[in-house]
Structure 1
Amino acid sequence: MGQIFLVRHGQASFGAVNYDQLSELGYEQARLLGQWYANGRQSFQRVVTGGMARHRQTADTCLAELPKPQLAEADWITDQGFAEFDHHEVLLRHCPEFADAVAFKALLARHVDPPRALEHLFRAAMQRWMGGWHDDDYKETWPAFRRRCVAALERLDTDSSKQATIVFTSGGVISTLMQHLLGLQDYQVMEMNWTLANCAVTKLLQRPGQFTLSYLNNYAHLEWLGQPGAVTYR
């Protein structure tokens, strides 16, 4: 039976000019995951990244903690099918102020609880994207994104009964794959995406033509090895 470990990237740089970079804490989260795997003598025969900088940074930092011979023997693949949806575009189409960082921060600052206000804005933006009434506004529609994610997973289908694959990707991709495997509704994808921790792991078991969920959103490595505050969601 094959194993597929879907890793959400470490904390990125939300609010910075370039979001697609790990924060200092994001690098630490990736190191902790690597130490967890090294301690458990977990090896990987295939490493897949979704093509974004934060995916590769998480992969490089995590797997640097594993024994070097094992890392060198792994088959590294970049598959854009595991790239995240364009959250910038999704937010911008719902909230034009998002185009101006100063204006967007001022918008959030008018609320008593800015993080909660951001959550509500993001949920509404996701509903607009997923609803299907404004598909012409987006470079990639929700159905297209969903098909892309499922196709990427299916490319991991293999006849090998023991191969372990680790995939460094994003929360939207993982949530969408859970919808595919568990038959979730669109709104449940949004809810799940909001609760996946940075550098958490979702494990699938794989037989030819079949994927089964083993566990979801495991971040025990951050709780066990990390300092207070090591578990983040944004």
Structure 2
Amino acid sequence: MGQILVVRHGQASFGADDYDVLSDTGEEQARVVGRSLAHLAPDLVVHGSLVRQRRTAELAADAAGWDAPLREDRRWNELDSLAQFATVSGSPEGLDPDGFQRWYDAAMARWTGGEHDADYTESFVGFTDRANAALAEVAANGTVVAFSSGGPIAAIVAVLLAGGAATYGRLLPGIVNAGITRVISGRRGLTLLSYNEHQHLAPDLVTYR
């Protein structure tokens, strides 16, 4: 039986010129999650191509003392939602936080609804399929730690729970930075063991964006 631990990246630099860089808090979260998993001897450590994913993997692997190789797989990448949504829903630039949230919720509902797939470079179904394909590929590798983002994690868990777009939408907002989702692989296929574990994080390190 194999196990896959899917870890969300540490906190990125929201509001900064370059979002795709870990904040100081994000770097500490990465070290903490690594130390919490030091008892593991993973056969493979995989991460997406985004800086925040790769850096979280590097810091965690160093803190854990793992010898396993680190491999990049772009299928673990987050959806470039703002760029995709802005092309069809207008730019959110200049909106206050409440206005941005209303814009985002409406844009997300349009994307997941499936009626406008041709408007997007990556549909909700396509996004879900590629995240779950990445999971399926590593399932035969023994113990695997995968560093990803909230979107792919929600897409994977929604499928494992036999849910759809509504389940995805409910899961996504609550995924904690450096939280851990565990999946086991056996004769019955893939089974969700736990979702969004974050007891390894002190209260001041629990962040959602």
Name the TM tier (shorter chain).
over 0.9
Instruction: Give the equivalent residue in structure 1 for 2:208.
Output: 233
Match of 1:197 among 176, 182, 186: 176
| Kept after mapping to 1: 8 A contact 2:8/2:179 | yes
Counterparts of 1:207 and 1:2, CA distance in 2: 7
Aligned length: 209
Q: 1:91 deviation in Å?
A: 3.7
Matches within 5 A, 1:120-135: 120-135=102-117
Instruction: Give the equivalent residue in structure 1 for 2:41.
Output: 43
Are residue 147 (structure 1) and residue 129 (structure 2) matched? Answer: yes
Matches within 5 A, 1:11-30: 11-30=11-30
Instruction: Give the equivalent residue in structure 1 for 2:118.
Output: 136
Counterparts of 2:89 and 2:51, CA distance in 1: 26
Counterparts of 1:204 and 1:157, CA distance in 2: 9
Length-normalised TM-score, structure 1 = 0.83
Q: 1:164 deviation in Å?
A: 1.1
Instruction: Give the equivalent residue in structure 2 for 1:77.
Output: 71
Q: 1:75 deviation in Å?
A: 2.9
What percentage of aligned pairs have identical amino acids?
A: 35
The answer for unaligned runs of 5 or more in structure 2 is none
Instruction: Give the equivalent residue in structure 1 for 2:194.
Output: 215
Length-normalised TM-score, structure 2 = 0.92
Are residue 187 (structure 1) and residue 179 (structure 2) matched? Answer: no
Match of 1:118 among 79, 100, 103: 100
Q: State which structure, 1 or 2, has the greater radius of gyration over its C-alpha atoms.
A: 1
Counterparts of 2:139 and 2:171, CA distance in 1: 24
Q: 1:24 deviation in Å?
A: 1.1
Letter in 2 for 1:132: G
Q: What SS is found at the alignment partner of 1:20?
A: coil
Instruction: Give the equivalent residue in structure 1 for 2:91.
Output: 97
